[in-house]
Structure 1
Amino acid sequence: MIIFSIIVGTFIGVFSTSILRWYLKRNVHFDSFGGREIIKIILSTLVASAIFGLLNIFFGYIYIEFGPELTETEIHMFEGYDKIMVQVLNSVFLVGAWTITYLVIKLLLKLNQNRIERLELNTSLKQAQLNTLKGQINPHFMFNSLNNIRGLMLEDVDKSREMLTKLSEIIRYSLTKNNINDIPVREELEVVDNYIDLSKIQFEDRLEFVKQVEEDTLDLRIPPMIIQLLIENASKHGISNLKNGGRILLAIFKKGDDLYIEVKNTGKLKISEDSTQLGLKNIEQRLKLLYADRASFKLEEISDEVMAQIKIPLACKSER
Structure 2
Amino acid sequence: MAKQKIYWFCQLFGWTLLILVEYLAYLLEYGFDADTFYLALANIFLGITLTHLYRLMIKRWRWVQLPFVQLAPRVLFSVFVLAIIMTMINMPVDWRIVPDKFVEEPWPVIGYILSWGKTMLAWVLSYTVYNYLEQNRNAEIEKILLKTSIRETEAKVLRSQLNPHFVFNALNSIRALVYENPTKAQQGITQLSNLLRNSLLADRRKTVELREEVKTVEDYLALEKVRYEDRLRSEIDLDGRTLYWQVPPMMLQTLVENAIKHGVSKAVGGGFVAVQSSIDADKLRIVIRNTGTLGDKGASGGFGLANTAQRLELLYGPEARFTIEQEDEGENGEPVVCAEIIIPAQSESLFRRRSSADLLTDQH
**TM-score > 0.5 by shorter chain:** yes
Q: Contact (CA 8 Å) 2:258, 2:301: kept in 1 or not?
A: no
Query: In the alignment, what sits opposite 1:193?
Result: 218
Shift of 1:273: 7.7
Q: Give the Cα separation in 1 of the matches to 2:292 and 2:320.
A: 26
User: 1:301 aligned to 2:326?
Assistant: yes
SS at 1:300 equivalent: strand
Shift of 1:319: 7.7
Query: In the alignment, what sits opposite 1:312?
Result: 343
Query: In the alignment, what sits opposite 2:178?
Result: 153
Shift of 1:278: 2.2
Shift of 1:114: 7.1
Q: Which amino acid aligns with 1:116?
A: K
Query: In the alignment, what sits opposite 1:253?
Result: 278
Q: Give the Cα separation in 1 of the matches to 2:199 and 2:341.
A: 20
Relative to structure 1, the CA distance from residue 312 to residue 231 in structure 2 (aligned partners, 3 Å threshold; closer, same or farther) is same
Relative to structure 1, the CA distance from residue 285 to residue 208 in structure 2 (aligned partners, 3 Å threshold; closer, same or farther) is same
2:248 aligns with one of 204, 223, 239 = 223
Structure 1: runs of 5 or more not aligned: 1-104
Shift of 1:124: 2.9
Q: Give the Cα separation in 2 of the matches to 1:111 and 1:319.
A: 27
Shift of 1:125: 2.3
Q: Contact (CA 8 Å) 1:249, 1:264: kept in 2 or not?
A: yes
Shift of 1:251: 0.6
Query: In the alignment, what sits opposite 1:125?
Result: 152
TM-score, L = length of structure 1: 0.61
Query: In the alignment, what sits opposite 2:4?
Result: none
Q: What are the within-5 Å matches in structure 2 for residues 133-152 of structure 1?
A: 133=160, 136-152=161-177
Query: In the alignment, what sits opposite 2:91?
Result: none
Relative to structure 1, the CA distance from residue 120 to residue 206 in structure 2 (aligned partners, 3 Å threshold; closer, same or farther) is same
TM-score, L = length of structure 2: 0.54
Q: What are the within-5 Å matches in structure 2 for residues 64-213 of structure 1?
A: 116-133=143-160, 136-213=161-238
Query: In the alignment, what sits opposite 1:9?
Result: none
Q: Contact (CA 8 Å) 2:288, 2:338: kept in 1 or not?
A: yes
* % identical equivalent positions: 35
Q: Which amino acid aligns with 2:264?
A: I
Q: Contact (CA 8 Å) 1:121, 1:289: kept in 2 or not?
A: no
Q: Give the Cα separation in 1 of the matches to 2:234 and 2:322.
A: 22
Q: Contact (CA 8 Å) 1:290, 1:318: kept in 2 or not?
A: no
Q: Give the Cα separation in 2 of the matches to 1:132 and 1:182.
A: 9
SS at 1:277 equivalent: helix
SS at 1:224 equivalent: coil
Shift of 1:202: 1.0
Higher helix share: 2
Q: Give the Cα separation in 1 of the matches to 2:230 and 2:237.
A: 20
Relative to structure 1, the CA distance from residue 163 to residue 316 in structure 2 (aligned partners, 3 Å threshold; closer, same or farther) is closer
Q: Which amino acid aligns with 1:307?
A: C
Number of aligned residues: 214
Relative to structure 1, the CA distance from residue 190 to residue 267 in structure 2 (aligned partners, 3 Å threshold; closer, same or farther) is same
Q: Contact (CA 8 Å) 1:297, 1:310: kept in 2 or not?
A: yes
Shift of 1:277: 2.6
Deviant stretches of 4+, over 3 Å? 108-115, 270-276, 316-320
Q: Report the structure number with the largest CA radius of gyration.
A: 2
Relative to structure 1, the CA distance from residue 285 to residue 264 in structure 2 (aligned partners, 3 Å threshold; closer, same or farther) is same
Shift of 1:259: 0.2
Instruction: Tell me the alpha carbon deviations over residues 159-217 of structure 1, each in whole angstroms, 9 at most, x when there is no partner.
Output: 10110110011001100122211111111111111000000011100111011111111
